[in-house]
Amino acid sequence: MAGISKRVWVFVMATCGVVPLVRATEPPPVHYEIGLDVSQGEAEAITVRATVRTGDDGIVDFDPPSQRPAEVHAEGGTLDTSTDKRWRVSGVPGAGVVLSWRSPKPTPLPTVSLSAWQSVVAQPGKVFAFDGVFLAIPKGAPTRRVTTTVSLPTGWHGASGAGNRSTTVEELPSLSFIAARDLYSVTRPIGGTHTLHVAATGARTQDVDRIATVLATALGTQPKDVTLNLLIVNAGEGSGYTTAGCAAALLLPRYEPSHPWLFGLVGYLIGADDAPGKASNAWFSRGVTGYRVAMAFRANGIFDNTSLARHIDQTLDAYGGSPLRRAPNARIAEDYDRIREMHDLPAARGELFAWLIDARLREATRGRKRLTDALKRVDSASPDPGPALIAAVAAEGGGDITALYQRYIVDGQLLQLPADTLGPDFSIGTVAYDYGWQIQHVFAKPLADNAQPLALP
């Protein structure tokens, strides 16, 4: 509709998908019991009981929920809330204490808006909140473990982002809780040993099933369980998602078979595996993964020729427009967390390199093999994926790509895709600008007999 602009909110909490080691000196876990007050069939408040042991000084300090609760009291120990940014519970050293509180009445959510990240929100028969909005979180070690149980009235079903996986207090602010009378939960395998858990409200079960199947396929063989809480409000235009390590919360105005949000969501979930000190592998963990996700979308009918061309064109633009596009990989690793452009470069470079190798494999095997076949031979947790990819491509009949890997990934020479890299349905061309900069673009050919380039935004 004219005059309405779509707003997209994306919040990311970058945490490693690997569970940190718990040292003997770290505090014991905090356990949350999450409940729901319901009146005349609608949610009135989220209720919480937090059980935790005090330290050697007999004290536990909490960061209060970002939305001030309607009431709070200690069932064990003495509670002090005189400081706005601290709740202090005092008791016997090393003893268990219980802190209980009740959220305010949920705010009506007519459409996806920033309020969903700032307060407990509700629609008829459903309630949603990010954990940081309604949970008090113990101060101290960010690696403190978290356990959760959810108990709801008859007819209601709920899901916590921390419910199916190991969680720390560091992740809690960006995890979420969802409860609804029509909540539908589904699981899908990820690889051979891990699972995707999806809890959704506001969509038909067959639509949720399709979202789960496509998401699990796109995640591939990532070595982790993944949790998604999905709220579809069936109104308005805004959308947004938040990821925290291996969990995500997604808010949509409506179900769309094209899933325009999915590529970014998958990228952030997979990016949670970017462990400190592994920036030299970002070209693979983020870039080659971008290729694999795009191929999964193509196989599942999410990307047609037009949408695939649009995606790759955006990747070419990101790479070609980067002032650091000729940076060697060693410099990327050095400045990965210091320079924004350096952080963004390997995802684009790595994906374009993957499309280049994919074309080489197709040509060498007369279309029998693609890079997706070679990637099945590569351990995603490899400490150095370069040699592993070189060996995998050779094993699939693609020849020796060592020189290409050295030139484009290691040395950072300018990567330009041949015009026919993507096959006969696409064309890649180079645009030279007044100031001497050249950027490639891709066009889909909608008609085989009349290959008119498709103008892309």
pLDDT at 3: 32
DSSP string covering 305-338: HHHHHHHHHHHHHHHHT-TTTT--HHHHHHHTTT
Residue-level pLDDT at 194? 87
Buried b (16+ CB within 10 A) or exposed e, 364-389: eeeeebbbbbbbeebebeeeebbebb
Tens of pLDDT along 386-430?
A: 999 999 999 999 999 999 999 999 999 999 999 999 999 999 998
Is a pLDDT exceeding 80 seen at residue 5? Answer: no
188 pLDDT band, cuts 50/70/90, is very high
Residue 457 has pLDDT above 70, yes or no: no
DSSP-based helix, strand, coil % in the chain, nearest 5? 30, 30, 45
What does the pLDDT read at residue 317?
Answer: 93
Confidence class of residue 334 from pLDDT cuts 50, 70 and 90?
very high
Mean pLDDT of all residues in 162-189 = 88
The DSSP string of 339-396 is -HHHHHHHHHHHHHHHHHHHHHHHHHTTTS--HHHHHTTS-TT-S-HHHHHHHHHHHT
Kindly indicate the confidence band of residue 35, based on its pLDDT and cuts at 50, 70 and 90: very high
What value does the mean pLDDT take over residues 92-100?
A: 91
Q: What is the pLDDT of residues 248-260, one digit of tens each?
A: 999 999 988 777 7
Average pLDDT over residues 87-116: 92
In the chain, pLDDT over 70 holds for what percent of residues?
A: 88
Per-residue pLDDT band for 8 (boundaries 50, 70, 90) equals low
Instruction: Give the C-alpha separation, 110 to 200, whole Å.
Output: 17
CA distance 362 to 398: 8
**Other Cβ atoms closer than 10 A to 15:** 19
pLDDT range class, residue 7, cuts 50, 70, 90? low
pTM of the predicted structure, to 2 decimals: 0.77
- Banded pLDDT at 271 (limits 50, 70, 90): low
Banded model confidence at residue 146, pLDDT cuts 50, 70, 90: very high
Q: What is the pLDDT of residue 258?
A: 75
Distance in angstroms (rounded) separating the CA atoms of residues 271 and 332: 16
What is the pLDDT, as a whole number, of residue 403? 97
Domain ranges of the chain: 8-271, 279-444
8-271 belongs to CATH 3.90.1150.10: no
Rounded mean pLDDT, 193-208: 93
pLDDT at 268: 78
66 within 8 A of 135, measured Cβ to Cβ: no
Confidence tier at 279 by pLDDT (50, 70, 90) = confident
pLDDT band at 21 (very low <50, low <70, confident <90, very high): very low
User: Which tokens hold the place of 428?
Assistant: 């890649």
* CA separation for the pair 351, 145 (Å, rounded): 36
